[in-house]
RNA sequence: GCGCCUGUAGCUCAACGGAUAGAGUAUCUGACUACGGAUCAGACGGUUGGGGGUUCGAAUCCCUCCAGGCGCACCA
């Protein structure tokens, strides 16, 4: 099986905006891989506003010197409106510099576009189901789950910005062995017994136990149900199971909500079993000839579709295996009309990818397209640099609430979303708690607050946006800031394509830095008795445009953009 | 043993196959009688884990070795 990232990238749409129209005729008939040609904003500003490697790409098939090809192209580019200069550099880069007026026009465009700036149509009208978190209702969401809450919700926002019709979905696993363990743990707690061998421990278990007892007591009072203590053991455990799961579910929803994450659908696994959906899914696969029986169990021949081994769907004891729910669930999503189904899983579940992709193929769908599984690496929790072992059984779990209580929602979300999900993340609670200024979120938020402060000051001294002359935005820091602002749409697009929200975070950090440096060099309001000029007015547009971009970017991350700090 | 992810500055992490590998933080030096100093300017800091290969060009792609994390059920 090819690497997931590779498959993901191969399936992503290539974004090519190189304009070859300015080239001569000898280039037209060439066949080159468009994905290898890039028109980009160079890292180094001395290389101009835009740069392209096209000459180096096409030199070989042409049998020509890259610099000569570049020169030919450059002569055409120089004639374009708004282009100030075109240089050939290094092995054959074409560096394009725009005149200030052309570059500055962007500030006006951003302010006009407002919240729409940065959005695109990459996935216009595409129905997407994004499933994430889906933690078992056997305890509070721990720190690993919080990462998916932050990354998943942000990804949903980014995909929506590209026009996707996204449904956020939480698969609520309320069926099976884990839940039974949870129920047994509650019962044990109620009866003063030690935590069962395979059960859950910790303070929250006794808390939930007390609440179940209280909730059941209300039921007794209301409709005369039998006293809890008088129930047979089996019924007693069922009381703890049903009410305990319900309470846990409510708690999880609440903490996610407090974290700024609300799902459109909380899907209960139980409903799949109750509605015969599992049977229907199995029947469908059986009709397709992918089912066989062996050793008293029902199997899905996943090896036919690249899986390591065939998988049991119905165990020999007649109960459905876990994957049976997945089959029915996937089918349900497809029947609800989702073209693309994304599931975010922790690295501890990446072993499922093969079988789920095989399942997709068995249903006649296309793996990695109709179903896409995003694997994220786990979070290591540190305390003063020492890794902490978390154990649900021992109850030594750091929860979502713990993290939010320590650093707040904005800082927590930002810290979790600013790194690639491919890399393991170390979170040092003590560090985050003691020195919150270390979190770059404050740098970005401060930049936004500063744009708002500048706007307020401008208004108070009579600087308004009645005039906009882009050619007056010609300071070096303005050129850099404008260049950064221009990147936003492609950053959003790339973050959506690659499913990598962290790109947005890194980007707004750069914008914040460029803004602070501009602020240091260019005043929006006049000093002392100086009259208000069009320079001030034009700069106000740039100030407001920057605020808009940071606001839009923070919005994609689910982080607030404060007016003041 | 097989598979997936990772290895980049003291630390936490970026970098669409491109130009001199970047930020934050830490350490050191500077800048407020100017729109918020939660800021800015500068310095220090790297054999991108090691070794091969592909390419005009590799942190990025391929092979191999080393190290760490996580998986390889008729458990969920």
Contact indicator for A340, A370 with CB cutoff of 8 Å: yes
Distance A422 CA to B62 C1' (A): 21
Tell me the DSSP string of A480-502.
HHHHHHHHHHHHHHHHHHHT-TH
Q: Is A410 exposed, middle or buried (0-12, 13-18, 19+ CB in 10 A)?
A: buried
Amino acid whose CA is nearest the C1' of B25: A438
Distance A451 CA to B23 C1' (A): 22
- pLDDT tens, position by position, A12-50: 332 223 333 333 444 444 445 555 666 777 777 778 778
Residue A254 neighbours by CB under 8 Å, 6+ apart = none
The residue among A96, A90, A99, A98 whose CA lies nearest residue A52 is A96
Q: What element of type H or E holds A342?
A: strand A340-346
CB atoms within 10 A of CB A1: 12
- Of all nucleotides, the one whose C1′ comes closest to residue A437's CA is B38
pLDDT-above-70 percentage for chain A: 90
Tell me the DSSP string of A249-281.
HHHHHHHHHHTT---SEEEEHHHHHHTTHHHHH
CA gap A119, A375 in Å, rounded: 26
Distance A422 CA to B67 C1' (A): 18
- The pLDDT of residue A138 is above 80: yes
Give CA separation, A462 vs A226, A373, A531, A533, in Å.
75, 54, 10, 10
The mean-pLDDT minimum among A82-91, A151-160, A480-489 falls in A82-91
- Of all nucleotides, the one whose C1′ comes closest to residue A385's CA is B11
Structure tokens at A550: 């940071």
CA gap A380, A389 in Å, rounded: 9
Q: How many residues does chain A have?
A: 565
CB atoms within 10 A of CB A230: 8
ipTM field: 0.94
Distance A176 CA to B60 C1' (A): 44
Q: Which residue has the tokens 């973050």?
A: A495
- pLDDT tens, position by position, A177-202: 888 899 999 999 999 999 888 888 88
Amino acid whose CA is nearest the C1' of B17: A36
Amino acid whose CA is nearest the C1' of B14: A506
Structure tokens at A71: 């020169």
Q: Where are the alpha helices (DSSP H) in A114-229?
A: 143-161, 177-190, 203-223
Distance A476 CA to B30 C1' (A): 22
Distance A545 CA to B34 C1' (A): 23
Mean pLDDT, residues A115-126 taken together: 96
Which nucleotides of strand B come closer than 7 angstroms to any CB of the protein?
3-7, 12-16, 18-20, 22-26, 34-36, 38-41, 56-57, 62, 68-76
Structure tokens at A421: 């999900």
Q: What is the pLDDT of residue A385?
A: 65
The residue among A161, A163, A153, A162 whose CA lies nearest residue A130 is A153
- pLDDT tens, position by position, A317-329: 999 999 999 999 9
- The pLDDT of residue A428 is above 90: no
Contact indicator for A509, A471 with CB cutoff of 8 Å: no
Bridge partner residues of A40 (DSSP): A51
Distance A163 CA to B35 C1' (A): 38
Amino acid whose CA is nearest the C1' of B15: A43
Give CA separation, A164 vs A10, A28, A70, A303, A365, in Å.
20, 35, 39, 33, 20
Q: What is the pLDDT of residue A36?
A: 61
Amino acid whose CA is nearest the C1' of B6: A423
Distance A37 CA to B53 C1' (A): 24
Q: What is the pLDDT of residue A130?
A: 97
- pTM (2 decimals)? 0.91
- The pLDDT of residue A277 is above 90: yes
Contact indicator for A361, A332 with CB cutoff of 8 Å: no
Q: What is the pLDDT of residue A1?
A: 35
Amino acid whose CA is nearest the C1' of B31: A520
Sign, CA dihedral A524-A527-A533-A535, equals: negative
Distance A111 CA to B26 C1' (A): 39
- Of all nucleotides, the one whose C1′ comes closest to residue A506's CA is B14
């Amino acid at each position: 099986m090819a690497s997931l990232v590779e498959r993901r990238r191969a399936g992503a749409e290539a974004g090519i905006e190189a304009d070859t129209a300015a080239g001569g005729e000898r280039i037209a008939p060439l066949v080159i891989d468009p994905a290898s040609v890039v028109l980009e904003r160079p890292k180094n500003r001395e290389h101009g506003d835009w740069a392209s490697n096209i000459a180096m790409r096409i030199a070989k098939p042409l049998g020509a010197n890259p610099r000569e090809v570049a020169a030919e192209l450059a002569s055409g580019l120089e004639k374009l409106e708004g282009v100030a200069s075109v240089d050939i550099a290094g092995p054959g880069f074409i560096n394009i510099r725009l005149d200030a007026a052309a570059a500055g026009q962007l500030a006006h465009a951003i302010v006009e576009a407002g919240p729409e700036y940065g959005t695109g149509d990459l996935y216009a009208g595409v129905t997407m189901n994004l499933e994430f978190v889906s933690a078992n209702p056997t305890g509070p969401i721990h720190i690993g789950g919080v990462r998916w809450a932050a990354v998943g919700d942000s990804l949903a926002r980014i995909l929506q910005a590209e026009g996707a019709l996204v449904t956020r979905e939480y698969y609520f696993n309320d069926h099976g062995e884990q839940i039974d363990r949870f129920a047994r743990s509650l019962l044990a707690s109620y009866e003063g017994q030690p935590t069962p061998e395979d059960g859950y421990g910790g303070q929250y278990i006794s808390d939930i136990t007390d609440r179940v007892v209280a909730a059941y007591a209300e039921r007794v009072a209301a409709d005369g149900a039998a006293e809890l203590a008088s129930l047979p053991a089996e019924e007693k455990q069922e009381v703890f199971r049903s009410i305990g799961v319900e309470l846990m579910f409510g708690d999880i929803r609440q903490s996610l909500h407090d974290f700024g994450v609300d799902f459109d659908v909380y899907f209960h696994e139980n409903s799949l079993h109750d509605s015969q959906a599992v049977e229907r899914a199995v029947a469908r696969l059986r009709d397709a000839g992918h089912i066989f029986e062996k050793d008293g169990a029902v199997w899905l021949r996943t090896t036919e579709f690249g899986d390591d081994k065939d998988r049991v769907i119905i165990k020999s004891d007649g109960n459905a295996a876990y994957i049976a729910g997945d089959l029915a669930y996937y089918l349900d999503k497809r029947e609800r009309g989702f073209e693309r189904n994304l599931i975010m899983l922790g690295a501890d579940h990446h072993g499922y990818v093969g079988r789920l992709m095989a399942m997709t193929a068995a249903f006649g769908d296309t793996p990695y397209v109709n179903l896409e599984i995003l694997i994220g690496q786990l979070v290591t929790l540190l305390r003063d640099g020492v890794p902490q072992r978390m154990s649900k059984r021992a109850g030594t779990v750091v929860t979502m609430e713990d993290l939010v209580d320590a650093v707040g929602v904005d800082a927590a979300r930002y810290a979790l979303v600013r790194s690639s999900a491919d890399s393991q993340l170390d979170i040092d609670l003590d560090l985050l708690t003691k020195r919150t200024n270390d979190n770059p979120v404050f740098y970005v938020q401060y930049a936004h607050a500063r744009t708002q402060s500048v706007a307020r000051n401008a208004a108070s001294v009579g600087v308004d946006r009645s005039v906009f002359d882009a050619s007056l935005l010609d300071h070096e820091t303005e050129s850099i800031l404008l260049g950064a602002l221009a990147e936003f749409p492609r950053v959003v697009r790339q973050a959506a394509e690659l499913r990598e929200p962290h790109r947005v975070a890194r980007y707004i950090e750069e914008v914040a830095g460029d803004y602070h440096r501009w602020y240091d060099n260019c005043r929006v309001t006049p000093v002392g008795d100086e009259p208000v000029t069009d320079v001030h007015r034009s700069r106000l547009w740039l100030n407001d445009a920057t605020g808009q971009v940071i606001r839009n970017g923070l919005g994609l991350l689910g982080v607030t953009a404060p007016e003041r700090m």
